[in-house]
Structure 1
Amino acid sequence: MEKVAIIGSQRVPFVKSFTHYLRTSNQDMLTACLQQLVSKYHLAGERLGDVALGAIMNRSTDWNFARECVLGSGLDSHTPGYNVVRACSTSLDAAVQIGLRIKAGQIAVGIAGGSDTNSDLPILFSKQFSWKMIALRHAKTFGEKLKVLASFRIKDLSPVYPSIVEPRTGLSMGQHTERMVKEWGITREAQDELAYYSHMNAEKAYQAGFFNDLVFPYKGVTKDTIIRPDTTLEKLAKLRPAFDTTGAGTLTAGNSTLYSDGAAAVLLASESYARQRGLPVLAYLEDAESAAVDYVNGEGLLMAPTYAVARLLRRNHLTLQDFDLYEIHEAFCGQVLCTLKAWEDPAYCQRLGYDQPLGSIDRSKLNTTGGSVAIGHPFGATGARILGQTAKVLHERGGGRALISICTAGGMGLVAIVQL
């Protein structure tokens, strides 16, 4: 059975939404990422096994989004492509799917990636407007058309903006996380401290040149724009709560991810393909596990990775401490800290099927080159960003094992093991 080699990744700088990438589409950004991979690894005119790409903030016209990106990439036009969507773990899930096909021997090489932008939102009209427009189109007589036209109301023209709320609760992800941090007793100070180190680690990595071959200039931007090297714990402490304004809130714009625009893609191949083509192998995608929680009936919305990690560890005969690197997506610093605390809790770990707590991790190994709070979180791009970043860290270390954990909307989570 083939091993799944991570050859390399490319991404645009992640930027705060409504700034540098105005009028730039998901397809624009992700096509640019594919073009960079094609150029860097000499894939022009090559037919790859498959390309799996995704975005959360999709337009209805993006039904063939991945294939369109492929056609603009410089790859052989016989390369297929398909769309993947699993909320914030979309591009990691795309990589897992490509990896499974490589491991099964169905394909030898493929690309996984994702993109998201809030600066090119698919603004919609109301359902009533849509229904009336459909009725107008199908009206056969002049009288029928007049009747439909007479039914239109001014309020039908009100635009509908996409909202990041859970349909079954009507609460935003931030509001759900406020519930989680209260349940687990996570302090504002602890969240701010994690945010501070996220920024410091990202800036340190930039200063060391770590991102030079991962991030390429795009639209005049050369570096992720959300990183704040001048932030301090004092500055973070002055920010007001963003989701609970009653005075009891602890989530702020400083310890939560900001709306971000960006795209990322990862090249994956079988070990034999990489060897035949003389391609570098940064690390291997070893295994993955998905999970979901019943957040509607009280479980924490973003706690699904705790279940997924427990199952992944058991299947691979590993402990939580058997890792040299932990890449835990920082949707909110509070959510990361809830996850870590849950793994240390005996009663909670019994729910995960363990007699003893999974235990604590060495925090010096957590998000060592910066996390999502500092770098940004374009929903569909984060998984590919983390996977490519993790593989490079392991490669520079000369070996090791990493745990990737991504929570998502809908009470889901996806985790993976990367090893060299």
Structure 2
Amino acid sequence: MKKVAIIGGQRIPFVKSFTHYNRISNQEMLTACLQALTERYQLAGKRVGDVALGALLNRSTEWNFARECVLGTNLDPHTPAYNVQRACGTSLDTTIQLSLRIAAGQIDTGIAGGSDTNSDLPLLLSQQLSWKLTALRAAKSFGERLKILASIRLKELAPVYPAVVEPRTGLSMGQHTERMVKEWGIHREEQDALAWQSHLNATKAWDTGFYDDLVFPYKGVTKDTIVRSDTSAEKLAKLKPAFDFSGQGTLTAGNSTIYTDGAAAMLLASEEYAQQQKWPVMAHFVDAESAAVDYVHGEGLLMAPTYAVARLLKRQHLRLQDFDIYEIHEAFCGQVLCTLKAWEDPVYCKKLGYDAPLGSIDRSKLNTRGGSVAIGHPFCATGARIVAQTAKLLQERGSGRALISICTAGGMGVVAILQR
């Protein structure tokens, strides 16, 4: 098996939806990221082994989305590409898939990435209107067409907006997380404290130049716009519950991710190819795992990473404490805290196949350059953002091991280990 090198990542600044990137498509944003990688690593005119990209909120006409992004760059047009979609874990999954192919010797290089925007939503027609318009197109006579048009009702003309809810429960991710924090006894103050730390860490990272070579200016925006350097525990405490209005809700706009637009991509290569190209290696991909939970019958929707991490640790003969860096996606601060508490619980860890708790982690090693609550969460871009960020942290350290964990819609989780 070949050693898989993470060469580097490029992303645009993440921004609050419906602001700076209005009417800019996923394809435009992600093509810009690919072109930035092409320029940074002198890939113009070169064929990359494969490109794996994804977007959650894409259009039905974008069935060849990844390939179109490639054709919009200076990469050799003989570079193949394909689409991937595992909700919030998408661009971590693209990284994993391409890393496995590089390790197997099938390809020497790969570009993984993802994008999402709420500011260019692909609105749908109602199912009834779609059926009638399809019939209208197939109609053979003027009378048939007139009859179909007369059958269209005003309510059928209303557009259908994409809804971030679980189809089998009808509940949003935030509502599911409210259930989780109640089950695990996670208090509002704990969630706000984690959110505040996320903003502090992201602010410091930007102020010290950590993101300067990972983020490039786009459409007049030079840095992430969601990071709040002026937030405080007092300000966060004043925010109202966002998902449970019964008086028992603890999730707010301050300790949850907000709708975000953005894109990210990263370059992977075999160790040998990286040496040939004289590319400095940031870190190496080691292993990964995915998991799912039965949230329909009571398990916490966003708890799947607890299973995935447990399996990964067992396979790699590692303890939860054997890491220098922990990057846990902050879909909600409450979800991160539920995950950490579950690993400390002896009864829960028996479900994970352990006779004793996995234990606690050193919180000072968690999301040290800011997490998704502060930086933002364009669904399919988050994985590539986290991998590139983590690889740079390992590069700065000179050595070490990192654990990445991402929860996703549908009750799934994707996790990975990087090392230098």
Q: What's the TM-score once normalised by structure 1's chain length?
A: 1.00
Map of 2:222 onto structure 1: 222
Map of 2:113 onto structure 1: 113
Secondary structure of the equivalent of 1:308? helix
Secondary structure of the equivalent of 1:364? helix
C-alpha distance in structure 2 between counterparts of 1:400 and 1:70, whole Å: 34
Deviation at 1:73, TM superposition (A): 1.4
C-alpha distance in structure 2 between counterparts of 1:169 and 1:249, whole Å: 19
Deviation at 1:125, TM superposition (A): 1.2
C-alpha distance in structure 1 between counterparts of 2:124 and 2:361, whole Å: 45
C-alpha distance in structure 1 between counterparts of 2:252 and 2:344, whole Å: 25
Secondary structure of the equivalent of 2:385? helix
Map of 2:235 onto structure 1: 235
C-alpha distance in structure 2 between counterparts of 1:103 and 1:68, whole Å: 26
Map of 1:20 onto structure 2: 20
Instruction: Give the 5 Å matches for 1:40-79.
Output: 40-79=40-79
2:354 corresponds to which letter in structure 1? Answer: Y
C-alpha distance in structure 1 between counterparts of 2:122 and 2:128, whole Å: 17
Structure 1: runs of 5+ lacking an equivalent? none
Secondary structure of the equivalent of 2:410? helix
C-alpha distance in structure 1 between counterparts of 2:397 and 2:104, whole Å: 29
RMSD, matched Cα: 0.5
Map of 1:398 onto structure 2: 398
Deviation at 1:143, TM superposition (A): 2.2
Deviation at 1:142, TM superposition (A): 2.2
Map of 1:135 onto structure 2: 135
Secondary structure of the equivalent of 1:269? strand
C-alpha distance in structure 2 between counterparts of 1:112 and 1:72, whole Å: 16
1:379 corresponds to which letter in structure 2? Answer: F
Instruction: Give the 5 Å matches for 1:198-213.
Output: 198-213=198-213
Map of 2:291 onto structure 1: 291
C-alpha distance in structure 2 between counterparts of 1:134 and 1:151, whole Å: 13
Structure 2: runs of 5+ lacking an equivalent? none
Deviation at 1:141, TM superposition (A): 2.1
Map of 1:385 onto structure 2: 385
Map of 1:316 onto structure 2: 316
2:111 corresponds to which letter in structure 1? Answer: I
C-alpha distance in structure 2 between counterparts of 1:347 and 1:70, whole Å: 48
C-alpha distance in structure 2 between counterparts of 1:72 and 1:4, whole Å: 27
C-alpha distance in structure 2 between counterparts of 1:142 and 1:201, whole Å: 66
How big is each residue's C-alpha offset from its partner over 1:331-374, in whole Å with a ceiling of 9 and x where there is no partner? 00000000000000000000000000000000000000000000
1:405 corresponds to which letter in structure 2? Answer: S
Q: What's the TM-score once normalised by structure 2's chain length?
A: 1.00
Deviation at 1:392, TM superposition (A): 0.1
How big is each residue's C-alpha offset from its partner over 1:9-31, in whole Å with a ceiling of 9 and x where there is no partner? 00000000000000100000000
How big is each residue's C-alpha offset from its partner over 1:60-82, in whole Å with a ceiling of 9 and x where there is no partner? 11100000000011100000010
C-alpha distance in structure 2 between counterparts of 1:255 and 1:145, whole Å: 53
Map of 1:188 onto structure 2: 188
2:382 corresponds to which letter in structure 1? Answer: T
1:25 corresponds to which letter in structure 2? Answer: S
C-alpha distance in structure 2 between counterparts of 1:146 and 1:53, whole Å: 44
Map of 1:31 onto structure 2: 31
How big is each residue's C-alpha offset from its partner over 1:70-97, in whole Å with a ceiling of 9 and x where there is no partner? 0011100000010000000000000101
Residue 275 (structure 2) pairs with residue 275 (structure 1): yes
Instruction: Give the 5 Å matches for 1:149-164.
Output: 149-164=149-164
1:15 corresponds to which letter in structure 2? Answer: V
C-alpha distance in structure 2 between counterparts of 1:290 and 1:283, whole Å: 21
Residue 172 (structure 2) pairs with residue 169 (structure 1): no
C-alpha distance in structure 2 between counterparts of 1:183 and 1:123, whole Å: 36
Map of 1:360 onto structure 2: 360
1:335 corresponds to which letter in structure 2? Answer: Q
Secondary structure of the equivalent of 2:93? helix
Task: Report the number of matched residues.
Answer: 420
2:144 corresponds to which letter in structure 1? Answer: E
1:67 corresponds to which letter in structure 2? Answer: R
**Runs ≥4 in structure 1, deviation > 6 angstroms?**
none
Percentage identity across paired residues of the two chains: 77
Deviation at 1:327, TM superposition (A): 0.1
Map of 2:305 onto structure 1: 305
